[in-house]
């Protein structure tokens, strides 16, 4: 991690190293929520990337402009889901 790493980045790195470890069966609900949101964020980023790549390829051909527009729109929606997932998980993980 670089000098500007946040606690969230450090937690993600630690999580990636121990995600499938057997001792994770005893994790707290808060930690499980963090794991689920991290996996969801990664999935959303990947899907958005796929749609943008497909849209970019289709953009080269005039007869596929309609399809590439939809790919860009769907990719944009997925890019918007990531901060929504993060805000939701942070809101739910706050102590009450």
Residues 93, 33 contacting (CB under 8 angstroms): yes
The phi and psi torsions of 6 (rounded to 5 degrees) equal: -95, 170
For residue 42, what are the domain limits? 29-93
Q: Does residue 9 lie within any of the structural domains?
A: no
Q: Does residue 68 lie within any of the structural domains?
A: yes
Predicted local confidence at residue 34, as pLDDT: 76
What's the structural domain count of the chain? 1
Average pLDDT over residues 35-63: 91
Q: Does residue 52 lie within any of the structural domains?
A: yes
Predicted local confidence at residue 58, as pLDDT: 93
Predicted local confidence at residue 63, as pLDDT: 94
Q: Is the pLDDT of residue 33 over 90?
A: no
**Residue in the block written with tokens 């790919």:** 71
Average pLDDT over residues 19-39: 71
Distance CA 16, CA 80 (A): 23
Q: Does residue 72 lie within any of the structural domains?
A: yes
Average pLDDT over residues 70-93: 86
Average pLDDT over residues 34-54: 89
Distance CA 35, CA 24 (A): 10
């Amino acid at each position: 991690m670089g000098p500007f790493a946040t606690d969230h980045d450090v937690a993600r790195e630690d999580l990636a190293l121990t995600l499938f470890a057997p001792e994770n069966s005893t994790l707290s609900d808060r930690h499980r929520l963090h794991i689920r949101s991290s996996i969801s964020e990664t999935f959303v980023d990947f899907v958005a990337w796929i749609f943008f790549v497909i849209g970019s390829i289709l953009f080269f051909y005039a007869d596929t402009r309609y399809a590439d527009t939809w790919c860009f729109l769907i990719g944009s929606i997925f890019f918007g889901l990531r901060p929504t997932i993060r805000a939701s998980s942070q809101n739910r993980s706050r102590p009450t």
